[in-house]
Structure 1
Amino acid sequence: MTNTKPYGFAVLILLVESLCVSPGLICPEISYLAGPAQLICTGGTLVHTYYNTGGKVATCGLTLNSSCDSTDMSAYRLSSNQTALNITSVRISDAGTWVCKNARNSNTSCHLTIANIPTYSITSDRATDAVDVYGRVSLTVDIRGFYCSAAHNLTLQVGSVTLPLNMYLPETVTEPTNINFTISINVTESHFGDAELIFLCNGQQLNVSHRSVTQLQQSTSTTVSAE
């Protein structure tokens, strides 16, 4: 007598595997402290479970009329194979790797990068509306609330000259940080123009708000002597 049970069981396993495909998880490129963020998980047919570095955060069923259980975040079903997790107010502890698992424990991950947009002001040790070429100017930069959970970079753009500021930054930034430093410039014609702070977080330039604007303007009385 021919035993067809193993064959039938194998077909059932293949059918289940074809339906319960591995999910995909999408994080926003950048999220901001105290602002909202949404993660979307796609794939599978039964349930999505969200995890971060602190453990399980939410479980959401994919079948019609299924419910979602979450901690202090809001999870809900979008379709038969897609759920969303909303973080209403992003915290520093939310940064890092997030994982979405389906019923077969297939999982995928994404990285949540968090930033805080700083404010800044730039002041000078002398009047900046009549600066001589080859003169010397000291600019004091005061940055308030700087934070990025990923690789970051700060530069000072003075006219068409870019000045790196990494030597003034702390080695690690674990919370919104205030930074104050003074940089001296031997002025050339390339330095004339606006002085602006450029903030990169995870390779993305973010708009930085300023409390004051400094502009180096060439002195009209500057002359070049001729013999």
Structure 2
Amino acid sequence: MSRYTGFVWVRPDSRYVVTCFPGCSPVAGYSGVVNVTHTTLTIDSVGMADAGTWSIMDATTVGAVPVQSCQLTVANLPQCNISSDADLATLQPNTTLTLTVDIRGYYCSRGASVGLTTGNVTEMLIDHNASDTSDVVTSRTFSVTPVRLGDVTVSFTCDVRRWDLNCDGVDNLVGACSPRLSSGCVERDSFFVVSDQRCAIGFSFSSVMSDQRADKPFV
């Protein structure tokens, strides 16, 4: 910081917050320190007004122009709830299912996006600039296939930072086994082994024939 004998930290909305001349004088919510190599600004509680480009301005020159110093991105992680229009304990192959995601209180000073992942499939729910704290309720309808089975998660991305959210409600999709198949049933000389009636691995079973294992699709 040797280029200035005194300077002011300027907030993105042009408010002067901390003056260092030579020591730094704090104001409500902001404080700073300075040495021969750099200055550090501390924000006690980051808010939306702090988002954007911070500048430093020479405090010893009349009419000095602020010089851009750093970019601050501000995010508020949302709360979320996932609900379903069907009984998830009895999902059958190719059932049409609608999941509704209620997202509350999200904010990002740059680009915000929210993604829904069901099994191995990820879909974008929101992708826009959230200029204020926002609430959104959105739904996705799809056919229940093996690639959709597994964990149900929601992610929130602000600029380049991503968070996996801990949502209430639905958190897993598991296919129900067909009542036609049970341990010991025989079909076409094949012995079906059903180890878990929830069939968490999808709509397929292990078929044992001549000491060889093979995947047999659900029919």
TM-score over 0.5 for the alignment? yes
Deviations 1:72-104 (A, max 9, x none): 233232422322211111111111110123567
Label 1:198 to 1:43 Cα distance change in 2 as closer, same or farther (>3 A): farther
Instruction: Supply the distance in 2 between the matched residues of 1:136 and 1:206 (Cα, whole angstroms).
Output: 29
**1:128–1:214 CA contact under 8 A, matched in 2:** no
**1:152–1:202 CA contact under 8 A, matched in 2:** yes
Residue of 5, 17, 26 corresponding to 1:57 = 17
Q: Which residue of 2 aligns with 1:146?
A: 106
**2:20–2:34 CA contact under 8 A, matched in 1:** no
Label 1:156 to 1:214 Cα distance change in 2 as closer, same or farther (>3 A): same
Q: Which residue of 2 aligns with 1:125?
A: 85
Label 1:109 to 1:80 Cα distance change in 2 as closer, same or farther (>3 A): closer
Please, which runs of 5 or more residues in structure 1 have no aligned partner? 1-41
Please give the residue correspondences for 1:60-209 in structure 2 after superposition, counting only pairs within 5 Å.
Answer: 60-61=20-21, 66-102=22-58, 107-166=67-126, 172-209=129-166
Partner of 2:147: helix, strand, or coil? helix
Partner of 2:88: helix, strand, or coil? coil
Q: Which residue of 2 aligns with 1:33?
A: none
Please, which runs of 5 or more residues in structure 2 have no aligned partner? 179-202, 204-216
Label 1:162 to 1:43 Cα distance change in 2 as closer, same or farther (>3 A): farther
Which stretch of the first structure deviates more once superposed, 108-117 or 207-216?
207-216
- Whether 1:48 aligns to 2:7 is yes
- Structure 1 ranges of 4+ moved more than 6 A: none
Partner of 1:93: helix, strand, or coil? helix
Instruction: Supply the distance in 1 between the matched residues of 2:76 and 2:52 (Cα, whole angstroms).
Output: 15
| Structure with the higher strand share, 1 or 2 | 2
**1:48–1:83 CA contact under 8 A, matched in 2:** no
Percent of paired sites with the same residue = 27
TM-score between the two structures when normalised by the length of structure 1: 0.69
**2:84–2:170 CA contact under 8 A, matched in 1:** no
Query: Displacement of 1:70 after TM fit?
Result: 4.0
Instruction: Supply the distance in 1 between the matched residues of 2:24 and 2:35 (Cα, whole angstroms).
Output: 13
Q: Which residue of 2 aligns with 1:39?
A: none
Select the structure with the greater relative contact order (CA < 8 A; seq sep ≥ 6): 1
**1:50–1:100 CA contact under 8 A, matched in 2:** yes
Matched letter for residue 9 of structure 2 = Y
Label 1:80 to 1:73 Cα distance change in 2 as closer, same or farther (>3 A): farther
Q: Which residue of 2 aligns with 1:26?
A: none
Instruction: Supply the distance in 2 between the matched residues of 1:139 and 1:172 (Cα, whole angstroms).
Output: 24
TM-score between the two structures when normalised by the length of structure 2: 0.71
**2:92–2:175 CA contact under 8 A, matched in 1:** yes
